[in-house]
């Protein structure tokens, strides 16, 4: 089950926010945050037209995150209003379940005051205490300075860059920077690399190449 203990943070603006696991009743608040971020059009892969989910569908989506041990959805609440969302989703395939991607979305007027950092701390604590999750990715547009700053502050390092991957508009492309971090790198250091198996050859037959 994807959940954390609720935690109150004091932001650099002196505002107090509660970071907690999202509940189905948060659906409307979460939709409001997502629309605010998508309307900005600058930093997300999605635009408002991509987000057509109803409140009922959002409720079901939240419940899926609550029920699945490899997924986590957090909200930050200020004075009872949802102002930010963190989603972590692992892969459904057996060999990829140990890794997943995290997204953070914060209302425009709540940024640059440590809220992303607060959500990152709560989310990372969950990852480190979840034996299922070993590696976390963030996918960030190269133009998203604030998000890249948050990733680096949280210890993520650039692993790959997909050039001209997102078409922002005619003749306008952004790179996607893929950053990652291992949950427990000391455990990984003890794992020997897998060696490549030699190709099977029947009766000593030699492979022929055209």
- Can you give the binding site for ligand COA, defined by CB under 6 A? 37, 43, 103-106, 111-117, 138, 140, 144-147, 149-150, 153
Which of left, alpha, beta for 80 (phi over 0: left; psi -120 to 50: alpha)? left
Least distance in angstroms from the C-beta of 94 to ligand COA? 26
In this structure, what are the phi and psi dihedrals at residue 110, rounded to the nearest 5 degrees? -120, 15
Least distance in angstroms from the C-beta of 139 to ligand COA? 7
Instruction: Name the residue nearer to ligand COA (CB basis): 67 or 146.
Output: 146
Least distance in angstroms from the C-beta of 95 to ligand COA? 25
Instruction: Name the residue nearer to ligand COA (CB basis): 104 or 174.
Output: 104
Least distance in angstroms from the C-beta of 203 to ligand COA? 54
Q: What is the torsion angle, in degrees rounded to the nearest 10, for the CA atoms of residue 47, residue 52, residue 55 and residue 56?
A: -140
Instruction: Name the residue nearer to ligand COA (CB basis): 115 or 174.
Output: 115
Instruction: Name the residue nearer to ligand COA (CB basis): 27 or 136.
Output: 136
Q: CA–CA separation, 120 vs 127, rounded Å?
A: 10
Residues 6 or more apart whose CB falls under 8 angstroms from that of 10 comprise: 16
Tell me if 90 sits within 8 A of 73, measured CB to CB: no
Instruction: Name the residue nearer to ligand COA (CB basis): 42 or 187.
Output: 42
Instruction: Name the residue nearer to ligand COA (CB basis): 157 or 188.
Output: 157
Least distance in angstroms from the C-beta of 44 to ligand COA? 6
First to last CA, the chain: 53
> DSSP readout, 61-100?
HHHHHHH-TTEEEEEEEETTEEEEEEEEEE-SSTTTTTEE
Least distance in angstroms from the C-beta of 79 to ligand COA? 17
């Amino acid at each position: 089950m994807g959940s954390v203990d609720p935690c109150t943070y004091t932001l650099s603006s002196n505002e107090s926010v509660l970071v907690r696991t999202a509940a189905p009743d948060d659906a409307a608040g979460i939709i409001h945050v997502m629309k605010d971020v998508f309307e900005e059009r600058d930093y997300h892969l999605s635009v408002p037209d991509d987000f057509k989910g109803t409140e009922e569908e959002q409720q079901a989506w939240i419940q899926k995150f609550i029920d699945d041990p490899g997924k986590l959805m957090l909200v930050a609440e200020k004075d009872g209003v949802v102002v930010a969302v963190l989603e972590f989703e692992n892969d459904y395939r057996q060999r990829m379940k140990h890794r997943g991607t995290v997204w953070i979305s914060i209302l425009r007027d709540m940024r640059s005051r440590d809220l992303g950092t607060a959500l990152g701390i709560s989310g990372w604590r969950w990852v480190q205490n979840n034996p299922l999750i070993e590696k976390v990715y963030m996918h960030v547009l190269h133009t998203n300075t604030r998000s890249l700053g948050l990733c680096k502050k949280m210890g993520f390092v650039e692993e790959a860059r997909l050039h001209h991957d997102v078409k922002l508009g005619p003749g306008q492309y952004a790179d996607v920077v893929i950053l990652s971090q291992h949950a427990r790198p000391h455990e990984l250091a003890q794992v020997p690399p897998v060696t490549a198996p030699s190709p099977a050859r029947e009766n000593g037959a030699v492979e022929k190449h055209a």
